[in-house]
Chain A
């Protein structure tokens, strides 16, 4: 039977019986099949949200309990596949420490003392203000009436698809605040700013036809944008003979599954890339026609600029052997065709913007960014409700300290609490949504101090599915639905630019009194007499489906509820990109940086003494940064995050595998186990994210937030692991790179002590 054709499933005791139906479309909203004494299994299409990739999924429901998730086989993006995080999404719903009703603080901030209140009271507090533990707080209405709507600061982590549109473009604009924080500066902002400086160039090359992929610091087999779809593409290409070569400080699983791993000293990818360009230009291995047509520098200028970036020079800095740089450069230049990819490992450094710009240069040399390349536009929903005017009023908290960074695009959100601390500005109502800034930014102790200070942040409201390190400090916690209990319009782009429209719909009734925050925002708007044009997320999704031409023709909302996805080869519009690529950036040159990407050493990295190592962080394959440690199946697989340290370095420092070490950074120290391995650069020490939660529930931290009357997770007594790992962000300062103000995750010099 074709996977596309099943839908109804029943179970008897332990064995599952599936009942075949005509197709997914028809059966999704059918009544459950009654098979005497057996449990019915119903399937519904929806969308994942465990990570940014948001694959299309189908959920299986038995007795109103979500029991299993599979990839939606109709999607040409993830082709019926999801990753471990996607499979464990169920754990988000039945997480035993979920917040199931609105909570109001009754002790000091962070004391863990809460009062269960009604939604009516909670929304009243937000709109009209009131008293929290004897202190008066201002509500949204007052701030607006006083002419200071910008004192409502909204800070989100993951807000995607129509959730983003509804909250940001409708609700926050209608209200009138542009004080909006995000998580870009701790994510990939250096890469984004590099792209902006290069002229918003969209790579338009036929990636799937590449025969040589050069990867700088991208753990694509573990995480990343479009994770599962990209894994499928790249692994298929490797099987068909494409060579993948990975530069990384660490033998990531991606490096291990590449044809070749080339270890590089942290923060020196830029030197290697410049030397690769040097060899390519000297040996005339570039695509001359494409390069000259698309770049704003001539080959001669480039040759002069690169002249002293020789492979020998790069070897001294990066430790990558000269012969290796030459052979990789020749392979890159002579393979038809080759492509360079990257991620945070390359660009979340002090010199990250220049590194990413150098990667653009590498791609421009091989003709990938040519002016004649066809680019597919991202599919767009046609929202039927008129947008309110954009809000302009904004607190001065989002660009970092004045004059410190060249171009931030307002995205230095990891320094918001520092800016509040030094009293650059002050929000009255600080709302945190699907984000955990205390844990996810650097310097966690400092963050906790500021978020815990009622004088700095008078009214802190968290919208969360469980009590995180941030929401446990809040004055008011609103219980959000998980992504498996809500409505969203989503779009994606499959290989070859195929447009994919899909929706997220509830697979199960929201647990307890939890409410989708998008619906709550609609309620808040109504109480503030703001007319958004719609009153719920379901209405918004329904009307948008029925208003978007291609979806309407296919059957509108009903079609999408049954199928989950609509995709059509013809819906993606393509255009020929005729932009020039700014290989030279005048903006950077004026500010004293190298206009054409040039070497930019990281302060303190050139002379490391015997006990100094460079600390880098990474993601493992079964966790997202901070949001999935409450998922029992994931944390069972990954709950300890030891420090990776090279065997020779460990010998020198007298560190044994599995022994405890103390890692001292300029702002603090942590104690964790050493993982002594041959698979890391001798100058690096690497600790994954995800560990060391001190909140976020029993599976993440070993501590219950509170116990519910009804236990809906009987597995909790089977938790066998005791260790929760260490949180590496605590010892990384909240710095910013000098161009974009992006977090320098991978630059901290640390000292090691035996414990």
Chain B
């Protein structure tokens, strides 16, 4: 029998909605304290970049190229520079940029071949076996973090740079191979001022997690809704408002 009472159905919908919203809120709350309830359950890998400490030395971008066999003309991470002020009150700022390993990664959604994978620890990587080189991910990334390996001589590359996947899209994978055995990514590992620190958002003892919470730190382009997992501290990021995109890729 058809229920003709519209009032009741609206109430029902409203009730469902409220229950649903409460549910979502609870879920989010539980998620946020998950690391307290289940400390060993999952990692959430993050990077904190302290712009007050960064001296613009560029070792991160070179170390990355070396670790990952990145070709000339392309970068997985770079240090941007901006100058501000009038002589003699002038400042120069440095902004290291990289893949943000987003919670809601637009590249992942853009890929037709499901080649971009977000691991349970939050790391976003491109599966070179599945990638067909369609490059749909490249314009989808608001940070310009993805590039295409268009090298002409794959055989030479395989010999000299085994980790260079020719004909595929490529980007920072947080040095997956290194971190899977407990090493740090090449960039933070060699940073002379500890301006880049690698950490785990679910580890209650991780000092950078604490810092991010206490100082309410955010990532780049928070308005894009991507949920970047690379957090920034200090400096005057506004200077880079329109130029955070990796200029090389």
Contacts and interface: CB of A to CB of B under 8 A. Distances in A.
Contact of A718 (B72, B83, B173, B186): B72
A20 B181 CA distance: 7
Contact of B181 (A19, A88, A231, A718): A19
Nearest to A649: B87
A127 interface: no
A256 to B, nearest CB: 4
Contacts of B66: 67-69, 87-88, 90, 633
Contacts of A6: 181-183
Contact of A719 (B53, B72, B176, B184): B72
Interface string A73-89: 00000001111101110
B218 interface: no
Interface stretch (A189-197, A537-545, A677-685): A677-685
B49 to A, nearest CB: 15
Interface stretch (A276-284, A355-363, A709-717): A709-717
A647 B73 contact: no
A70 B159 CA distance: 22
A18 B59 contact: no
Contacts of A87: 59, 62-63, 66, 190
B177 interface: yes
Contacts, number: 177
B192 interface: yes
Interface in A633-681: 633-634, 636-637, 646-648, 677-680
Given A18-B183, A239-B53, A253-B92, A713 B160 contact: yes
Nearest to B159: A714
A733 to B, nearest CB: 29
B223 interface: no
Contact of A632 (B72, B151, B156, B189): B72
Given A81-B192, A231-B55, A647 B182 contact: no
Contacts of B94: 253
A15 to B, nearest CB: 5
Interface in B82-109: 83, 85-88, 90-94
B62 A88 contact: yes
Contact of B72 (A82, A621, A712, A720): A720
Contact of B193 (A19, A62, A82, A231): A231
Given A81-B192, A677-B83, A256 B92 contact: yes
Given A88-B66, A235-B55, A715-B72, A263 B190 contact: no
B33 interface: no
Contacts of B178: 16, 18
B118 to A, nearest CB: 16
Nearest to B179: A18
B155 to A, nearest CB: 9
Contact of A20 (B67, B91, B165, B182): B182
A713 B182 CA distance: 31
A235 B57 CA distance: 13
Interface string A1-31: 1010010010101111111100000000000
Given A235-B55, A257-B55, A679-B83, A1 B190 contact: no
A65 B69 CA distance: 13
B227 to A, nearest CB: 25
Interface in A234-283: 235, 239, 251, 253-254, 256-257, 261-263
Contacts of B61: 84, 637
A103 interface: no
Nearest to B84: A678
Nearest to A638: B58
B192 A231 contact: yes
Could you tell me the dominant secondary structure of chain A's interface residues? mixed
Which of B58, B65, B94, B163 has the most chain A CB atoms inside 10 A of its CB? Answer: B58
A356 B56 CA distance: 29
A533 to B, nearest CB: 39
A238 to B, nearest CB: 9
Which of A9, A231, A251 has the most chain B CB atoms inside 10 A of its CB? Answer: A251
B87 to A, nearest CB: 4
Given A84-B62, A239-B53, A17 B160 contact: no
A15 B160 contact: no
Contacts of B73: 636, 718, 720
Contact of B57 (A20, A68, A84, A94): A84
Contacts of A679: 83, 87, 90, 92
A714 B157 contact: yes
A39 interface: yes
A285 B186 CA distance: 47
Interface residues of B, number: 55
A679 B153 CA distance: 44
A83 B162 contact: no
Contacts of A251: 83, 90, 92
B72 A80 contact: no
Contacts of A718: 71-73, 151
B190 A71 contact: yes
Contact of B162 (A13, A221, A263): A13
A424 interface: no
Contacts of B56: 253, 256, 621
A542 B189 CA distance: 31
Nearest to B191: A81
B134 to A, nearest CB: 18
Contacts of B176: 15-16
A228 interface: yes
Nearest to B78: A637
A615 interface: no
Nearest to B70: A633
B90 A717 contact: no
A690 to B, nearest CB: 14
B72 A636 contact: yes
B87 A678 contact: yes
A68 B184 CA distance: 14
Given A81-B190, A84-B59, A235 B177 contact: no
A591 interface: no
A228 B160 CA distance: 29
A314 interface: no
Which of A9, A713, A714, A717 has the most chain B CB atoms inside 10 A of its CB? Answer: A714
Contacts of B69: 67
Interface in A19-69: 19-20, 39, 62, 65, 67-69
Interface string A276-309: 0000000000000000000000000000000000
B84 to A, nearest CB: 9
B3 interface: no
A323 interface: no
Closest 6 CB pairs of A and B: A16-B177, A1-B182, A18-B181, A714-B156, A256-B92, A718-B72
Interface of A: 1, 3, 6, 9, 11, 13-20, 39, 62, 65, 67-71, 80-84, 86-88, 90, 94, 221-222, 228, 231-232, 235, 239, 251, 253-254, 256-257, 261-263, 621-622, 632-634, 636-637, 646-648, 677-680, 682, 711-715, 717-720
11 contacts: A3-B183, A14-B162, A16-B163, A16-B175, A68-B67, A84-B57, A84-B58, A231-B193, A254-B55, A632-B72, A714-B159
Interface of B: 53, 55-59, 61-63, 65-67, 69, 71-73, 83, 85-88, 90-94, 128, 151-153, 156-157, 159-165, 173, 175-178, 180-184, 186, 189-193
Given A16-B177, A232-B193, 16 more contacts: A13-B163, A14-B163, A67-B66, A68-B67, A70-B189, A81-B191, A83-B192, A84-B58, A87-B63, A90-B66, A251-B92, A256-B93, A622-B57, A632-B72, A678-B90, A714-B153
